Amino acid sequence: MSQTKGLRRKGRILAFQVLYGVSFVPPHGGWTSERIYNQSPAVTRESDEELILYARDLLINVCNTLEELDEVIKSYSKHWKIERIAKVELSILRLAIYELIYKADIPLKVGINEGIEIAKKFGDENSRNFINGILDAVARDIDGGKFSVTKKF
């Protein structure tokens, strides 16, 4: 495993953990995603500065595109309203779809695989198939030109 691959995987997991935590914070009260990130126990326990910065950027960018990501999730989660998707799966989907759409340097298959790996680690027995189905459909549409994959952030 290359150093970059290991850093990115750990960064995704750290960003996922904070993103999942954010889903429990009421939208009022002055809690920004950055403040939550900086005070997260998972972050404060981490000593690798490069990892902390990678995960922070990933989290902030996911939070900045949340509405768009949720629209994508809504359009691909047939028969599931976004409010009914478990917070673990929703957090994984937001993170993975962000990478599929906006991180042109990450191959689609890698983005799908990383989402599945996080689902295996943090989800239940059904998470992997649900995540895989949605990410695979999004990736097919990216390949088909439905989304313009550019590095906006």
**Mean pLDDT throughout 74-92?**
91
Q: Which of 95, 104, 92 is nearest to 65 (CA)?
A: 95
**Mean pLDDT throughout 77-84?**
86
Q: What is the pLDDT of residue 22?
A: 84
Q: Domain 3-143 - what CATH class?
A: mainly alpha
Q: Reply yes or no on whether the pLDDT at 152 is more than 80.
A: no
Q: What is the pLDDT of residue 28?
A: 64
Q: What share of the chain is helix, strand, coil (3-state, %, to 5)?
A: 70, 0, 30
**Mean pLDDT throughout 28-47?**
82
Residue 95 has, within 13 A of its CA and on its CB side, a CA count of: 34
Q: Reply yes or no on whether the pLDDT at 105 is more than 70.
A: yes
Q: What is the pLDDT of residue 148?
A: 65
Highest mean pLDDT among 31-40, 97-106, 144-153: 97-106
Domain ranges of the chain: 3-143
Question: Which stretch of DSSP H or E encloses residue 133?
Answer: helix 127-143
φ and ψ at 45, to 5 degrees?
-80, -20
Q: What is the pLDDT of residue 153?
A: 39
